[in-house]
A and B are shown apart, each in its own frame.
Chain A
């Protein structure tokens, strides 16, 4: 089932009663309640939010990803449960025991899926994609030819109709929208990994020692084009997107609900993420050899 996303951008006191999340406001507004088991993600964005430990415990037990934002209103922390799956310890052992060739093969599948989705997104606007198609077909084990970067160079040149655009963390808009969207996506993938009993820290390709979400960053690659699609939609339809206002955030926060096609079926992105992470576990455990990724279109 698709879980709900709650965004808190105003002062409020968050507590719990009857297995519900209770939102009390400082003014005379009536309290609101949301069933905790329906929640998938909570985004905390206002400095004047108070949250009780009882509520945090219940949220974490229900595998809710709690995303906290910094003073610039950008997501900068994710709180996830320590035990997301009953067989967690066994599953993590499978993950840690994965052989180097298996990891390289998984990374090959991941890059192929990513480039395919990028190509489909460009093809949507009738941009020639022979180059990307060629790159997606020639990804080697472990992506030794670095097709990912070659594809990215072409992709970012063509996705937006903006001549000066470069994909950089601190670059010009819509880089700000992309950063926000990817942070949300990362939380969704990290949540799915934890609930499949995997450790988001130990990646198949990313292994920067300063990165606590290496595996999430690996697995989210083929999902990035869906965020890009939403951002492109904003760039095409909005007059201004320099500032991340509440209206734009609303569009970006709907990313978990986006329709994606996975394994021949349409499903919301958040549900698809769990299918992907489950298939990843099956690869680690030797049950299957294929990660199931969504396809654009």
Chain B
């Protein structure tokens, strides 16, 4: 289909939100808080990219803001959390490897998905 039919949905407008975190797990209470934080991320549509790196596709800046706001509301009292936003274009340029083999990239989400 012609790209010009869909200029509102281009790769520079859609975003990926990445969340990096290091949370203390020394006490039972800390572990509970850490897993609660992780569970909230999963409920909010984030998926694990690597241990303690989660990411989510967002169709627009406004949508990304909604999810960032939710993370900020659920921040754990201790530990370090980073939130980063990159465009779908930048995300698509990431290189990934398993060992020294090039790994299959996660295809950027699309508006339409066929299963």
Contact = CB atoms under 8 A, between A and B. Distances in A.
A131 interface: no
- Taking residues whose C-beta sits less than 8 angstroms from the other chain, chain A's interface range is 20 to 34
A35 B45 contact: yes
Interface string A9-25: 11010000011100100
Given A10-B115, A258-B5, A4 B109 contact: yes
Contacts of A268: 6, 8-9
A184 to B, nearest CB: 11
Contacts of A4: 59, 109-113
A24 to B, nearest CB: 11
B45 A233 contact: no
A2 B8 contact: yes
A254 B9 CA distance: 11
A259 B8 contact: yes
A156 interface: no
A175 interface: no
Nearest to B2: A233
B79 to A, nearest CB: 21
A33 B6 CA distance: 25
Interface in A252-284: 253-254, 256-259, 266-268
A172 interface: no
B60 interface: yes
Interface residues of B, number: 25
B114 interface: yes
B46 to A, nearest CB: 9
- Say what secondary structure dominates the interface of chain B: mixed
B8 to A, nearest CB: 5
Interface string B30-71: 000000000100111101000000001001101100000000
Interface in A1-53: 1-2, 4-10, 12, 18-20, 23, 32-35, 37-38
A4 B42 CA distance: 18
A104 to B, nearest CB: 34
B7 interface: yes
A34 B107 CA distance: 13
B1 interface: yes
Q: Which of B8, B112, B115 has the most CB of A within 10 A?
A: B115
Given A5-B112, A7-B115, A35 B59 contact: no
Contacts of A242: none
Contacts of A38: 45, 59
B112 A253 contact: yes
Given A12-B115, A254-B111, A35 B8 contact: no
Contacts of A10: 115
A268 B42 CA distance: 28
A132 B99 CA distance: 65
A35 B47 CA distance: 10
B42 A2 contact: no
Given A18-B42, A18-B43, A251-B1, A7 B113 contact: yes
30 contacts: A1-B63, A2-B111, A4-B110, A5-B112, A6-B113, A7-B113, A7-B114, A7-B115, A8-B115, A12-B115, A19-B42, A19-B45, A20-B45, A33-B47, A35-B56, A37-B45, A38-B45, A233-B1, A233-B5, A250-B1, A250-B112, A251-B1, A254-B1, A254-B5, A257-B112, A258-B5, A259-B5, A259-B7, A266-B7, A268-B8
Interface of A: 1-2, 4-10, 12, 18-20, 23, 32-35, 37-38, 230, 233, 246, 250-251, 253-254, 256-259, 266-268
